[in-house]
Amino acid sequence: MSCLKLPQLQQLSRPTAGAFASQRTLLSRAVAGQRLYSSGGLSSKAELNLPFDYNHSSFLYKNSAAAQKALSLPPSTKTSKLNLHNALNNALAHLLETNPRSALFGEDVAFGGVFRVTSGLLDRFGPDRVFNTPLTEQGIIGFGVGLAAAGHLALPEIQFADYMFPGYDQLHSEASTWRFRSGGADWCNSGQLIVRMPCGAVGHGAMYHSQSPEGVFSNLQGVRTIMPRSPAQAKGLLLAAAECGDPVIFMEPKILYRAVLEEVPVEAYKIPIDKAEIVKEGKDITIVSYGAMMYTVEQAALHAEEKLGVSVEIIDLRTLKPWDKETVTQSVNKTGRLVVVHESGKTGGLGEGISAEITERCFLRMESPVKRVTGWDTHMSLAFEKFTLPDVARVFHAIKSSIEYGA
């Protein structure tokens, strides 16, 4: 049998024009097809999912007075307008400057990191305290555990939360069990471990750059998990984490690094990491969320109040492990309804534990079952990333369903 020549092979492998047309027809039908409250042109609810500007959010401190009041700081406190990336850089610089036994390290950290959060810190503090590591998440966290145990403030960075899993054993078997194995000795009296990691969807990250694995950390006993929603929160929570006495996983929503601007106090300050924040008071329904989803929740709440005539209370957890049960309980006892919103999947997400706990605590006061609006239980798709995440329309629909339950 004679070999086919290259032009013949190319002809065999090339789809016909009709095949292309058929594929285009199928694709256009799929895209145009109606999805529940989608942003597609055929949906009557399209206006719910129009793009919104994070910086119009009432959750951000627009001036010095707002920051001073919210953070309980004196009127003389100076502020500077920073984005999340700048605020974290500012906080890390403060920790390195005030604690000579602190060290910042990870993949490309000396260069400034993928998102440039550590930019300029090598020049300021030198290669002995700001340095690169090999590409080994297990080694990065293991080294951090050892440094903290030896009395240092260890600040390892995992380049993306998606890469965390090779290092999970070091958190689970070493960091989380240290106090238990040592008979109650507080290893953090002399040292501390804060593992920073960018997390969440960014629009084009797919399976290896857009995951939200915070639910996986909920079973790490003795380890705190924190996720800020804004620049001022990021700085205050990171500085508080350095003194909390427990190993900390500090998750940074990467989509917010440069998307939000806020007045941030210039001097050091701390935000309590054991307390959720009621960012908006209401009386008819409670929504609990954290991180970047707070802005989606805010938009949905505004639509609900306008279209349904309800009063929505919104709570930012800030600390995900352990989460503030008392604040959420008091709110749900008042409103009688709860919606939990997060990017991570429904199965194994934080919403499971929150729903169970609040149902146990508030069952006799509740007007409807707890609703969860989460990422779908699937891998993050590159082409369909925005459809995998909770959107304004889905949160609005959950509010509406909860309000109308039993009617």
pLDDT tens column, 197-217: 999 988 788 888 889 999 999
Tens digit of each residue's pLDDT (9 = 90 or more) over 95-111: 999 999 999 999 999 99
The confidence band for 20, taking pLDDT boundaries of 50, 70 and 90, is very low
Tens digit of each residue's pLDDT (9 = 90 or more) over 374-394: 999 988 888 888 888 999 999
| pTM of the predicted structure, to 2 decimals | 0.87
Tens digit of each residue's pLDDT (9 = 90 or more) over 308-362: 999 999 999 999 999 999 999 999 999 999 999 999 999 999 999 999 999 999 9
Tens digit of each residue's pLDDT (9 = 90 or more) over 110-141: 999 999 999 999 999 999 999 999 999 999 99
- 137 among known catalytic residues: yes
Cα dihedral: 36, 355, 194, 104 (round 10): 0
The two domains 64-265 and 275-403 share their CATH topology (first three levels equal): yes
The confidence band for 68, taking pLDDT boundaries of 50, 70 and 90, is very high
Using the predicted structure, report yes or no on whether residue 41 has a pLDDT greater than 50: no
The confidence band for 37, taking pLDDT boundaries of 50, 70 and 90, is very low
pLDDT at 40 (0 to 100): 43
- 209 among known catalytic residues: yes
Domain boundaries, given as residue ranges, for the chain: 64-265, 275-403
Please tell us whether the domain made up of 64-265 is placed in CATH 3.40.50.970.
Answer: yes
Average pLDDT along the chain: 89
What class is the 275-403 domain? Answer: alpha beta
Catalytic position from the list 209, 303, 342, 397 = 209
- What are 327-333's contacts with CB under 8 Å, separation 24+? 327/275, 327/276, 327/278, 328/276, 328/286, 328/288, 328/354, 328/358, 329/358, 329/361, 329/362, 331/278, 331/286, 332/286, 332/358, 332/361, 332/362, 332/365, 332/366, 333/362, 333/365
Catalytic position from the list 85, 107, 137, 303 = 137
For the segment 250-265, the average pLDDT, to the nearest whole number, is: 96
